[in-house]
């Protein structure tokens, strides 16, 4: 028997990008454990990936190409050879290009693997060759980055691991214990040294429950809370005038602007007591270093970018950027640019004018009669948009179109794959080569394939090479090998060292103090408390609170019909977005979907715990058991995200209800500005 251990890195769309070690016996992976040498993940995986080997060897894995034989959505397929499936796809694509033009083809992908080359590389060249439409925007992260950049000029922020040096930690719109679990020990370290941990979240999450204090604003109202904090900081002189004078612009305008934002005024908007806001601001202005930790949750609002833009002003006012452990930490993705340039994957002559479609508007793109040309062919990989993209009933209607040719590359028969005409079987991270750029820490991870691909599954890069060949395309750029793609995109790091060690820290200073002495990448070179750039785009130049249109404080007509704000957050420790809810050690152990209601909202509707209820709005209707809980505030309900239609026992899922209004800027979407009504389901 030969036994080997192989170093790898988790590919999931998760900030932790844990290092792992696979044990392989005679070509079969038998064990997967965390790499104890990884400075961030420190030898631990998580309740999802502890069972990753079961996922890899699941009897439900798709292992051959499949061609549809039944109605769309019925998941009725027959096995096909690669040659047959490739010929069918190449034939249809050629036909679509001839009849409608390349822009009638829409590639749609997300971060199902966030590996450097398997997320997106050769696909960009392949679809450019076809002249296909391109997706823009993001389900995750774009709004947070662009919001921050409005104040700082770039998405660069602090090293999250430096939270351990903090004296005060504000976990603002992030559920660390669930979504970013390997950061929690660093937060605990700060706590052990006397730091107070405060979570600001409309839900009493596991993180809020484990914090010293939980502040519970109404969803989408945080900017008002921030403006009142600025009001108190300025009123009470809790400012670093030297920092502001040297490194910021627009202070006077901001000062005049927040003068009216008393804690009392913000309290009326956020539903947080004025006294609490006073205390929060005064702690933030006096305890050092004060570390603000945020991630993605708060971007999923109509004014999501403004949340990050306003938040970024706080550590500027107090000069908190001078201190290790201070400032603000968010996604670290931009730091990977020090050693990684994925622009090399872009086709030559980029800047072409191919049609752009926001990925959050997939349903509209597939159904809007004014689309010219209409989308005739859809390619999906690294994502399950039928469940993860808002306004999902519209997507389902689009996927049902008989004249749409849908190709999906997947490991499993997801809700999206069920609607495919052709499915190509995809490898998992244990079967493919990649480098993982993390967004929760500063280490690049190597991923050596541990086992041969199962069945006839191929990596995404191999799929693009096979498709290019089937199309008869010429050009070395379409056929570059995986190793060569990696080599072309990584600079300044010894790849042999990376392969040997499994991880290497990106080339940024050990003590990362990005803005200790200014150095902002804005047009003015300073932190922009007032932004001419935003003004030029017709946006508010100062941090400004606006109630989302689809919120209790927004359109009174809509709020009259649908009085409850719906959140659909990540909730289950065994799920990663929608990957895992279908697997036996995950979905069944989490129970099933439900809608959570405050006792007061349940009482006025005559609902008892466990009652079957309907949740609905103009977009969709969902039947679920009610769970009465004290984790929310009256007026707010929550449905956990991640369950498929089979678990809901109906075609709709949580995202059938959610809003596809785009964010103020950054190309994200307002999942969490969704209004619904709830009532007992008819017998
Ligand atoms: N177990 C598990 N871990 C995951 C994932 C998973 O599905 N399961 N998904 C991964 C992915 S893709 C991502 S992007 C990250 C996300 O990581 P996070 O950003 O930490 O997680 P979210 O649950 O999206 O949002 C965090 C919190 O924001 C809150 N929130 C919503 N609206 C508002 C608001 O207006 N104000 C404030 N203050 N808070 C608000 C929600 O109630 C939620 O508790 O998690 C990753 N990790
Ligand atoms: N209501 C609501 N909706 C949300 C969110 C929320 O909090 N609430 N969160 C949003 C966020 S932050 C995100 S990031 C998105 C996530 O949205 P998606 O990225 O669509 O989510 P996943 O469910 O993780 O789907 C990833 C799929 O990729 C497949 N996959 C994994 N590796 C590979 C590979 O190597 N090759 C191929 N071909 N396929 C692979 C997996 O099998 C899986 O089915 O969801 C968003 N949607
Ligand atoms: S899903 Fe996240 S926490 Fe779990 S092993 Fe992967 S990177 Fe680590
Ligand atoms: Mo995400």
| Alpha helices by DSSP H, 539-606 | 556-561, 587-590, 599-604
pLDDT tens digits, 241-270: 999 999 999 999 999 999 999 999 999 999
Q: Which listed ligand is nearest to 423 at the C-alpha?
A: 2
The fold of 66-140+344-430+454-471 is: Rossmann fold (3.40.50)
Contacts (Cβ under 8 Å, ≥6 apart) of 500: none
- 403/413 Cα distance (integer angstroms): 22
Integer-rounded Cα Rg, in Å, for the chain is 25
The per-residue pLDDT for 434 is 98
Q: Which two tokens stand for residue 15?
A: 């900030």
Helices (H) and strands (E) in the chain, counts: 27, 27
| pLDDT tens readout for residues 471-504 | 999 999 999 999 999 999 999 999 999 999 999 9
Query: Ligand 2 atom closest to Cα of 118?
Result: 35
pLDDT of residue 567: 98
Q: Is the pLDDT of residue 572 over 70?
A: yes
For the Cβ of 11 lying below 6 angstroms from any atom of ligand 3, the answer is no
The residue contributing the CA closest to ligand 3 atom 4 is: 46
Distance 429 CA to ligand 4 centre (A): 18
What is the mean predicted confidence (pLDDT) over 449-459?
A: 98
> Do the strands 434-437 and 443-447 form a parallel or antiparallel pair, or are they unpaired?
antiparallel
324 Cβ partners below 8 Å, 6+ apart?
Answer: 162, 165, 289, 511, 513
pLDDT (average), residues 39-47: 98
pLDDT of residue 350: 58
Look at residue 207 and tell me whether its pLDDT is greater than 90.
yes
Q: Which fold has domain 556-680?
A: Barwin-like endoglucanases (2.40.40)
Domain ranges of the chain: 66-140+344-430+454-471, 142-330+513-536, 556-680
- Determine the average pLDDT of the residues in 228-249: 98
Domain topology for 142-330+513-536: Dimethylsulfoxide Reductase; domain 2 (3.40.228)
**Which of 112, 140, 456, 654 has most ligand 2 atoms within 8 Å of CB, for mutation?**
112
What is the distance in A from the centroid of ligand 1 to the CA of 569? 6
In the reported structure, the alpha carbon of residue 111 is separated from the centroid of ligand 2 by a whole-number distance in angstroms of 6
Distance 386 CA to ligand 3 centre (A): 23
Residue nearest to atom 12 of ligand 1 (CA): 13
Q: CA-to-CA distance for 159 and 220, rounded, in angstroms?
A: 26
What's the gap in Å between 141 CA and the centre of ligand 4? 7
Peptide bond into 289 cis (omega under 30): yes
By most ligand atoms within 8 Å of CB, the mutation choice from 8, 9, 11, 14 for ligand 3 is 14
Q: Is the pLDDT of residue 535 over 90?
A: yes
Residue 73 is classified by DSSP as T
Torsion region of 551: left, alpha or beta (phi above 0 gives left; psi -120 to 50 gives alpha): beta
Q: Is the CB of 32 under 6 A from ligand 3?
A: no
Task: Verify whether ligand 3 is closer than 6 Å to residue 183 (CB atom).
Answer: no
Q: State the CB neighbour count (10 A cutoff) for residue 421.
A: 20
Within a 13 Å sphere around the CA of 333, how many CA atoms are in the beta-carbon half? 19
Rounded distance from Cα 576 to ligand 2 centre (Å): 8
- Tokens 């080569």: give the residue: 433
Percentage with pLDDT > 90 across the chain:
98
- The predicted-structure confidence for 581-635, as pLDDT tens digits, reads as follows 999 999 999 999 999 999 999 999 999 999 999 999 999 999 999 999 999 999 9
CB 493 within 8 A of CB 504: yes
Choice from 176, 570, 572 to test ligand 1 binding pocket (greatest atom count within 8 A of CB):
570
pLDDT, residue 417, reads: 98
Nearest CA to ligand 1 atom 15: 179
Ligand nearest to the CA of 578: 2
Predicted confidence band at 351 (pLDDT cuts at 50, 70, 90)?
low
Nearest CA to ligand 3 atom 5: 45
The CA 109 to ligand 2 mean position distance, Å, reads 9
Task: Compute the distance between CA of residue 369 and CA of residue 487 in angstroms, rounded to an integer.
Answer: 44
pLDDT of 299 > 90? The answer is yes
Q: Is the pLDDT reported for residue 349 higher than 70?
A: no
**Residue 95 neighbours by CB distance under 10 Å:** 13
Going by alpha carbons, the residue nearest to atom 39 of ligand 2 is 382
Task: Identify the pLDDT of residue 683.
Answer: 79
Alpha carbon separation from 617 to 59, 127, 268, 551, 561 (Å, rounded): 38, 37, 26, 13, 8
Against a cut of 0.85, is the pTM above it? Answer: yes
User: How many C-beta atoms lie closer than 10 Å to residue 297's C-beta?
Assistant: 25
User: What confidence category does residue 352 fall into, taking pLDDT thresholds of 50, 70 and 90?
Assistant: confident
User: Cα(18) to centroid of ligand 3, in Å?
Assistant: 6
| Rounded Cα–Cα distance for residues 42 and 161 (Å) | 12
pLDDT at residue 555 above 90?
A: no
Half-sphere exposure of 418 (CA within 13 A, CB side): 17
- Count Cβ atoms below 10 Å from residue 594 Cβ, excluding itself: 19
Q: Is 48 in the pocket of ligand 3 (CB under 6 A)?
A: yes
Ligand 1 centre distance from Cα of residue 299 (Å)? 9
Q: What pLDDT is recorded for position 130?
A: 97
Please write the tens of the pLDDT for every residue from 83-116: 999 999 999 999 999 999 999 999 999 999 999 9
């Amino acid at each position: 028997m030969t036994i080997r251990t192989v170093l790898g890195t988790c590919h999931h769309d998760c900030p932790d990008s844990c290092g792992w070690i696979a044990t392989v016996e005679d070509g079969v992976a038998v064990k997967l454990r965390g790499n104890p040498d990884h400075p961030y993940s420190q030898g631990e995986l998580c309740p999802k990936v502890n069972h990753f080997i079961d996922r890899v060897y699941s009897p439900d894995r798709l292992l051959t190409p499949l061609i549809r034989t039944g109605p769309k959505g019925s998941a009725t397929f027959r096995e096909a050879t690669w040659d047959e499936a490739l010929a069918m796809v190449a034939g249809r694509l050629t036909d679509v290009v001839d009849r409608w033009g390349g822009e009638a083809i829409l590639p749609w992908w997300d971060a199902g693997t966030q590996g450097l080359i398997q997320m997106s590389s050769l696909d960009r060249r392949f679809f450019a060759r076809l002249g296909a439409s391109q997706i823009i925007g993001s389900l995750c992260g774009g709004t947070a980055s662009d919001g921050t950049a409005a104040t700082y000029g770039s998405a660069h922020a602090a090293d999250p691991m430096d939270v351990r040096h903090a004296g005060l930690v504000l976990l603002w719109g992030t559920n660390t214990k669930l979504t970013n679990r390997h950061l929690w020990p660093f937060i605990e370290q700060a706590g052990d040294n006397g730091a107070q941990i405060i979570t600001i979240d409309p839900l009493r999450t596991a993180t809020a429950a484990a914090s010293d204090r939980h502040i519970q604003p109404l969803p989408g109202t945080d900017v008002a809370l921030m403006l009142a904090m600025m009001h108190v900081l300025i009123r009470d002189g809790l400012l670093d005038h030297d920092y502001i004078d040297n490194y910021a612009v627009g202070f006077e305008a901001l000062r005049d602007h927040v003068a009216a934002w008393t804690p009392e005024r913000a309290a009326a908007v956020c539903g947080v007591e004025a006294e609490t806001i006073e205390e929060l601001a005064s702690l933030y202005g006096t305890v050092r270093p004060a570390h603000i930790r945020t991630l993605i949750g708060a971007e999923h609002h109509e004014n999501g970018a403004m949340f990050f833009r306003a938040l970024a002003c706080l550590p500027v006012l107090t000069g908190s950027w001078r201190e290790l452990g201070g400032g603000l930490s968010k996604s670290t993705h931009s730091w990977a640019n020090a050693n990684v340039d994925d622009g090399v994957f872009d086709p030559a002559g980029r800047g072409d004018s191919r049609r752009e479609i926001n990925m959050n508007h997939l349903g509209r793109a597939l159904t809007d009669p004014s689309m010219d040309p209409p989308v005739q062919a859809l390619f999906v990989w690294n994502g399950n948009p039928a469940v993860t993209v808002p306004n999902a009933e519209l997507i389902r209607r689009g996927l049902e179109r008989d004249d749409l040719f849908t190709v999906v590359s997947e490991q499993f028969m997801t809700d999206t794959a069920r609607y495919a005409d052709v499915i190509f079987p995809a490898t998992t991270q244990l079967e493919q080569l990649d480098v993982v750029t993390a967004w929760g820490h500063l280490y690049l991870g190597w991923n050596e394939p541990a086992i041969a691909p199962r069945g006839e599954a191929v990596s995404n890069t191999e799929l693009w090479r096979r498709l290019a060949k089937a199309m008869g395309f010429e050009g070395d750029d379409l056929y570059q090998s995986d190793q060569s793609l990696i080599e072309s995109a990584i600079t300044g790091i010894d790849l042999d060292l990376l392969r040997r060690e499994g991880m290497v820290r990106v080339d940024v200073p050990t003590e990362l103090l990005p803005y200790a002495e200014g150095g902002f990448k804005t047009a003015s070179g300073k932190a922009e408390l007032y932004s001419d750039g935003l003004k030029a785009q017709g946006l508010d130049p100062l941090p400004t609170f606006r109630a989302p249109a689809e919120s209790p404080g927004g359109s009174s007509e809509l709020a009259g019909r649908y009085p409850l704000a719906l959140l659909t957050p990540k909730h289950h420790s065994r799920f990663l977005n929608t990957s895992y809810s279908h697997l036996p050690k995950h979905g069944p152990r989490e129970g099933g979907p439900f809608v959570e209601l405050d006792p007061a909202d349940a009482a006025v509707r005559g609902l008892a715990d466990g009652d079957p209820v309907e949740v609905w709005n103009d977009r969709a209707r969902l039947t679920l058991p009610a769970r009465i809980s004290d984790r929310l505030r009256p007026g707010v309900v929550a449905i956990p995200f991640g369950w498929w239609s089979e678990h809901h026992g109906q075609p709709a899922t949580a995202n059938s209800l959610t809003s596809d209004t785009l964010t103020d800027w950054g190309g994200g979407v307002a999942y969490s500005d969704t209004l619904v009504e709830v009532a007992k389901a008819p017998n």
